[in-house]
Chain A
Amino acid sequence: MTVKNSISRRATKAADPSDRVFTALVGAASTLVVALLVGFILLLVLDSTDSIRRFGLGFLAGSKWNPVKTEINPIVFGALPYIFGTIVTSLIALVLATPLALGSAIFVSEYAPSWLGKPVAFVIELLVAIPSVAYGVWGLFVLVPIMRNDVEPFLQATIGKIPILGALVAGPPFGQDLLTGGVVLAIMILPTILSLSREIIAQVPRLQKEGMLALGATKWEVLSKAVLPYARGGIVGASMLGLARAIGETMAVTMVIGNSSTRISPSILTPGYTIASAIANQFTEADSPVYFSAIVELGLVLLLVASVFNIGSRVLVGRIAKREGGADA
């Protein structure tokens, strides 16, 4: 028992009894959350036992997803194309959304006059509340034709001409592919990253900024030397929250990604598939036990992918915070 612990104990004893009730309540609440997660994982593992036993690691490494036994093709489930699609679309979304979100967060909180900044921030926060199926319908009917007719041919005419990089945009432009999935996701996670970054930038102590200005720094210098270093950890955290949303997003992506798991190719213009869309598409009609089990295992894999990203981002935020600490000292 440490000194700190005994002090806090004594403090609790001395306090009002209502304090104890409250402690119990919040304790129970957090226990319940943890219990829910544990129960959730247990159920996923239990229901996917069939598939885990039958396919083992092949489930993660295999790229054939065949629910029907035929003369030459056995029933086999390999989730690699889904995992690949999930990671690629989420990364595209992150790469596209972060600079945009950060740019407008800086504009809204540092450059725009408050009569402009406040309503803009409000509108952006409204965007978070739009249901994802609405993004999907918009994506299918507005974005897909633009991607197919304008953006993708343009990419092929520019990047496509560069050796090696050209492979990224090879193949016929369908408009329904990993890139379009990523763009829809970017639009969806943009408001999340933006509103969080804006809050974080607003938290930068006034004194630091004013100090810089008093030293004769330009606006850019204030931003790059005082604001951004202070907010860096938070901004990375905001992007990671956006990424988490992108990984689990289902409906909007399903409607524009092409839902094809036939091949994994380096080109982002290939129709793809994400784990979440595979679950949404196939769950209701997964009519054999092993098929059902494989779909549940997909859920488990999705949880795994999300956890890996989450832990990765924790480490990243931690490193940044440490480096800042070092710089300050």
Chain B
Amino acid sequence: MKKTFILLSCLFIVAAGIGAQGKAGLGLIKSGDPNEAKNLTGAGGTFPAVLYTKWFAEYAKLTGVQVNYQSIGSGGGIKSISDMTVDFGASDGPMTDDQLAAAKGGKIFHIPTAMGAVVPTFNIPELGKDTLRFTADTISAIYLGDIIKWNDDKLVADNPKLKNVDKYIVVVHRSDGSGTTNIWTSYLTAVSDKWAKAVGAANSVQWPVGLGGKGNEGVAGNVKQTPYSIGYVEEAYAVQNKLPVGLVKNKSGKYPVPTTSAVTMAAQGVVLPDDLRVKVVNSDNPEAYPVVGFTWILAYQQQTDPAKALALTRLLWWATHDAQSYNAGLEYAPLAPDVVKKAETLIKAIQVNGMQALPATISK
């Protein structure tokens, strides 16, 4: 009996020890709060829509709060929150300073909810099942139109098998504005001066070369059917559709496989600003996959309706803590402990009538 007790308490301590690293704050929301609003409306990016559908269904079961999320696109999400037509917005790209200044309800917080990766996919019949290795140099040169053939010396240096592939590269990009493009171009902007000067990073840009496909499925369809092509898609989409995925060299010279944990690492152990409005591409973390980004929920710091403010802050707390366990199963990378800690500070700073909106029982 005593032995069992000691064993159990040992287990408990070990479990608590593991849990303590960034996992505090779990399990604080177990049921609805009588004072909170029972309906919240949000609108924004299509990238997190699958995750949010799952989350909000679970959250309704837990608390009875119905969250209505409309995946109208990040641009639409930013516009909706700026015009105050929704309780929260969602975006895969950070709002620009101009957009923040134009928001009607004052200061907007960026609360990260998940991370996603963008991967290169390609179609080279000669390669069979072999993968390709890309560097910041080669990817940016391909998308700038500076490398035009697969047997270019720079590509062959990392991929000897390409030596005899004397074919022109067909570059494929997204034709519709999207967070995927934002992450991809943010990476290119971070690693290539020439790209940063000429093209820049946004949901849609002026592409120097290439064909446009609509949506992940459009890009994947183009790459699948066009021999000697290269494109980029969300990591989750590539996994679900078993597309060939190229490896990208990170800042430390490694070629990490873009798993959800390698994506999460991009925001762990690196310098992050307090407002979390940051692009985490080309991370300093040696284990991190380099082409990644956050997806955010956008919320006003100064709330006006106490019931909604309570419901929203409780939802955000649950989303950044308990809900993270749903992420990996749906191929979204969970938030790193460092990020959760900073997100907590932001959620606590949300106010209604000059007071903290989050109940003290949660924020303690």
Measured CB to CB, the residues of A under 8 A from B are 64-73, 140-141, 144-145, 148, 172, 174-176, 254-255, 258-262, 271, 273, 277, 280-282, 284-289
Q: Is the CB of B208 within 8 A of A68?
A: no
Beyond A66-B206, A281-B177, A288-B98, list 13 extra A-B contacts (CB 8 Å). A70-B197, A70-B198, A72-B197, A148-B226, A175-B225, A175-B226, A259-B212, A260-B207, A280-B176, A284-B176, A284-B177, A285-B203, A287-B203
Query: Could you say which residues of chain A place their CB within 8 Å of the CB of B202?
Result: 67-68
Q: Are A174 and B206 in contact (CB under 8 A)?
A: no
CB distance from A251 to the nearest CB of B (A): 9
Q: How far is the CA of A296 from the CA of B222 in the complex (A)?
A: 29
> A67 — which chain B residues lie within 8 A by C-beta?
202, 204-206
Q: Is B200 in the interface zone, CB < 8 Å from A?
A: yes
Interface stretch (choices B70-78, B104-112, B349-357): B70-78
Chain B positions 57-93 with a Cβ under 8 Å from a chain A Cβ: 72-76, 78-79
Would B175 and A284 count as touching, CB distance under 8 A?
no
Complex Cα distance, B197 from A277, in Å, reads: 28
* Residues of the B chain whose Cβ atoms lie less than 8 Å from the Cβ of A70: 196-200
Residues of B within 8 A of A175 (CB): 225-226
B residues within 8 A CB of A286? Answer: 75, 177
Quick check: B212 and A282 within 8 Å, CB to CB? no
B209 interfacial contact with A, CB 8 Å: yes
Q: Does B168 contact A (CB under 8 A)?
A: yes
Does any Cβ of A come within 8 Å of B170's Cβ?
Answer: yes
Are A258 and B212 in contact, with the CB atoms below 8 A? yes
Which A-B residue pairs are the 6 nearest by beta carbons?
A285-B177, A259-B212, A284-B73, A259-B175, A287-B75, A68-B200
Q: Do A288 and B99 have beta carbons less than 8 Å apart?
A: yes
Contact partner of A140 (CB less than 8 A), chosen from B178, B205, B208, B221, is B221
Most buried by B among A64, A66, A174, A285: A285
Q: What class of interface size applies to chain B in its complex with A?
A: 35 or more
Q: Is B22 an interface residue (CB 8 A)?
A: no
Complex-state Cα separation, A156 to B24, whole angstroms: 67
Complex: chain B residue closest to A286, CB-CB: B75
Among the interface residues A260, A261, A289, which one has the most CB atoms of the partner chain B within 10 A? A260
Q: Which residues of chain B have a CB within 8 Å of any CB of chain A?
A: 72-76, 78-79, 96, 98-99, 102, 168, 170, 175-178, 196-214, 218, 221-222, 225-226
Distance in Å: Cβ of B7 to nearest Cβ of chain A = 56
Contact B197 A71 (CB under 8 A): yes
| Cα of A262 to Cα of B200 in the assembled complex, Å | 16
Inter-subunit contact B175/A254 (CB<8 Å): yes
* Contact A287/B74 with A66-B206, A67-B205 known, Cβ cut-off 8 Å: yes
Known contacts A68-B202, A70-B197, A176-B222; A285/B211 CB under 8 A: no
With A68-B199, A255-B218 as known contacts, state yes or no: A287 contacts B78, CB within 8 Å.
yes
A73–B205 alpha-carbon span in the complex (Å): 11
- Is B75 touching A285 in the complex (CB atoms < 8 A)? yes
A259 and B75 contact, CB distance less than 8 A: no
B99 touches A277 (CB 8 A): no
Residues in A neighbouring B212, C-beta threshold 8 A: 258-260, 271, 273, 281
Closest approach, in angstroms, between the C-beta of B298 and any C-beta of chain A? 12
B206:A281 contact, CB within 8 angstroms: no
B196, A71: Cβ atoms closer than 8 Å: yes
CA separation between A255 and B218, bound complex, in Å? 7
Which residues of B sit under 8 angstroms from A144, Cβ to Cβ? 225
The CA of A65 and the CA of B198, in the complex, are separated in Å by: 13
Q: Is the CB of A281 within 8 A of B176?
A: yes
Q: Could you list 6 examples of A-B contacts with CB < 8 Å?
A: A67-B204, A70-B196, A172-B168, A280-B214, A284-B75, A284-B176
- Report whether B211 and A259 are in contact in the complex, using a CB–CB cutoff of 8 Å: yes
Query: Complex: how many Å from CA A277 to CA B214?
Result: 10
- Min C-beta distance of A100 to chain B, whole Å: 27
Evaluate contact between B198 and A73: CB separation under 8 angstroms: yes
A residues in contact with B72, CB < 8 Å: 284
Question: Closest B-chain residue to A177, C-beta based?
Answer: B211
- From A66, A71, A282, A287, B176 is in contact (CB under 8 Å) with A282
What separation, in Å, do the CA atoms of A145 and B73 have in the docked complex? 31
User: Among A174, A254, A285, which residue has its beta carbon within 8 angstroms of that of B178?
Assistant: A285
Residues of B within 8 A of A261 (CB): 206
Quick check: A254 and B211 within 8 Å, CB to CB? Answer: no
CB <8 Å contact, B74 and A262: no
Decide: A145 and B198 in contact? CB cutoff 8 A. Answer: no
Residues in A with CB closer than 8 Å to B76 are 284-285
CB distance from B230 to the nearest CB of A (A): 14
Residues of chain A within 8 A (CB-CB) of B98 are 288
The closest CB in chain A to the CB of B92 belongs to A285
Residues of B within 8 A of A273 (CB): 212
Closest residue of chain B to A69 (Cβ to Cβ) is B200
- Min CB distance B175 to A, Å, is 3
Docked CA distance A101–B79 (Å): 46
The answer to whether A277 touches B170, judged by C-beta atoms less than 8 angstroms apart, is no
Residues on B with C-beta less than 8 A from A282 are: 176-177, 204
Report Cα–Cα, A259/B221, bound state, in Å: 14
Of A73, A254, A258, the contact of B206 (CB 8 Å cutoff): A73
CB-CB < 8 A to B201: which residues of A? 68
The distance from the CB of B227 to the nearest CB of chain A, in whole angstroms, is 9
Residues from chain B with Cβ under 8 Å of A281 in the complex:
175-177, 204, 212, 214
Closest residue on chain B to residue A148 by CB atoms:
B226
Q: Which of B99, B168, B214 contacts A259 (CB 8 A)?
A: B214
Q: Name which residue of chain B comes closest to A70, CB basis.
A: B200
Cβ of B206 and Cβ of A68 under 8 Å apart? yes
| Residue ID in chain B nearest A251 by CB atoms | B214
Contacts of B199 in A (CB 8 A): 68, 70, 73
From residue B105, how far is it (CB to closest CB) to chain A in Å? Answer: 17
**Other-chain residue from B176, B218, B221, B222 in contact with A285 (beta carbon distance below 8 A):** B176
Q: Which of B96, B178, B214 has the most chain A CB atoms inside 10 A of its CB?
A: B214
B12 CB, min distance to chain A CBs, angstroms: 49
Q: B211 touching A176 by the CB < 8 A rule? A: yes
Residues from chain B with a CB closer than 8 A to the CB of A71 are 196-197
Q: Closest approach, in angstroms, between the C-beta of A119 and any C-beta of chain B?
A: 35
B176: chain A residues within 8 A (beta carbon): 280-282, 284-285
